[in-house]
C-alpha cells in the first residue's frame, strides 16, 4: 500500500481544498413559516437545502458565512406531494430542511437586504 501513501503536506492541502469546496456548493435558503418563527425564538434556524447535503457541510457553511458557533444540526426530509394534471399523475421534488441550533446568545440576521 506504499503506492497510495501521501506525505503530510499534501494531505493537509487536499483537506483544506475539500473543506473550501464543500462550503462553496451548499446553497442555504431561509425557511419562512410559523414553525420556523417559533424555533427562531429558541435559537434554532431553519434552512432549505438540496437533498444529499450532509449536516457537517451545513455546519461548516453556517460557521463560515455567519460569525456564530453551531451546536447541532437536525435534518428533516419532507414528503413528496402528489400533483394531478387531468389523468396524468406526478410528484413534486424531494425537499429537505436543516434546523441549525446555535450557541446560547447568538443570532443570525435573516432579513432580506433590499
pLDDT in tens, 65-112: 999 999 999 999 999 999 999 999 999 999 999 999 999 999 998 776
Residue 85: C-alpha distances to residues 82, 90, 93, 96 (Å): 10, 8, 16, 25
In the predicted model, is pLDDT for residue 56 greater than 80? yes
Burial of 46 (C-beta count, 10 Å sphere; 0-12/13-18/19+): buried
Q: Where are the domains of the chain?
A: 27-102
Rounded Cα distance, 63 and 52, in Å: 19
- pLDDT at 110 (0 to 100): 75
> For 27-102, which CATH class?
alpha beta
Instruction: State yes or no: pLDDT of 22 exceeds 70.
Output: no
| Contacts (Cβ under 8 Å, ≥6 apart) of 6 | 14
Q: Are strands 88-91 and 29-30 parallel, antiparallel or unpaired?
A: unpaired
Amino acid at each position: 500500500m506504499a503506492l497510495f501513501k501521501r506525505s503530510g503536506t499534501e494531505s493537509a492541502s487536499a483537506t483544506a481544498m475539500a473543506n473550501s469546496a464543500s462550503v462553496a456548493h451548499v446553497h442555504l435558503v431561509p425557511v419562512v413559516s410559523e414553525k420556523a418563527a417559533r424555533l427562531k425564538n429558541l435559537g434554532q434556524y431553519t434552512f432549505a437545502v438540496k437533498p444529499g447535503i450532509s449536516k457537517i457541510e451545513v455546519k461548516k457553511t453556517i460557521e463560515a458565512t455567519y460569525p456564530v458557533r453551531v451546536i447541532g444540526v437536525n435534518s428533516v426530509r419532507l414528503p413528496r406531494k402528489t400533483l394531478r394534471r387531468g389523468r396524468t399523475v406526478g410528484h413534486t421534488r424531494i425537499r429537505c430542511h436543516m434546523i441549525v441550533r446555535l450557541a446560547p446568545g447568538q443570532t443570525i440576521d435573516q432579513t432580506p437586504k433590499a
